[in-house]
C-alpha cells in the first residue's frame, strides 16, 4: 500500500503543474492540458480518500463523472480551437480578440 501522504503529494504536484500551465502559457492546447492535469489531481484525491473510507462508491462515481465532463470539455474546446485556427490562422490567445463582446 502506498501511504496517503505520497498520494496527496503527487496530487499537489499535478495540481501545481496544471495551474502553472494554465496561468503562464497562451497556447490553448497547453491550457487544456493544464486543466486536464488539475482535474486528474482532483480525481486522485477522491480515489485516495475513498480508500480511507470504504463505506460506499460515492467518490468513485464522482471521479467517473469528472472524467466524463473532462472528456466532453476537451472535445468541445479542441473543436473551437480548430475552428478558430481555420478561420483566422492563429492559435495564440493573446493575439486573438474575436471572442470579445
- Asked if residue 23 is part of any domain, the answer here is yes
**Structure confidence by residue, pLDDT tens digits, 34-93:** 999 999 999 999 999 888 887 888 888 999 999 999 999 999 999 988 888 888 788 877
- Asked if residue 42 is part of any domain, the answer here is yes
Whether the per-residue pLDDT at 101 is higher than 60: the answer is no
DSSP string, 16-61: HHHHHHHHH---HHHHHHHHHHHHHHHHHHHHHHHHH-TT-SHHHH
pLDDT value of position 13: 97
- Asked if residue 18 is part of any domain, the answer here is yes
- Asked if residue 83 is part of any domain, the answer here is yes
Domain total in the chain: 1
Question: What's the CATH number where 48 sits?
Answer: 1.10.287.3510
What pTM value is reported for the model?
0.84
- Asked if residue 99 is part of any domain, the answer here is no
Stretch 7-19: mean pLDDT, rounded? Answer: 96
Domain that includes residue 67, residue range: 4-88
- Asked if residue 101 is part of any domain, the answer here is no
- Asked if residue 54 is part of any domain, the answer here is yes
Amino acid at each position: 500500500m502506498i501511504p496517503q501522504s505520497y498520494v496527496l503529494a503527487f496530487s499537489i504536484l499535478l495540481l501545481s503543474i496544471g495551474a502553472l500551465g494554465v496561468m503562464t502559457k497562451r497556447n490553448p492546447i497547453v491550457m487544456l492540458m493544464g486543466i486536464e492535469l488539475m482535474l486528474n489531481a482532483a480525481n486522485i484525491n477522491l480515489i485516495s480518500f475513498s480508500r480511507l473510507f470504504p463505506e460506499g462508491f460515492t467518490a468513485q462515481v464522482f471521479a467517473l463523472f469528472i472524467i466524463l465532463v473532462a472528456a466532453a470539455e476537451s472535445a468541445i474546446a479542441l473543436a473551437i480551437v480548430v475552428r478558430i485556427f481555420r478561420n483566422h490562422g492563429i492559435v495564440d490567445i493573446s493575439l486573438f480578440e474575436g471572442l470579445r463582446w
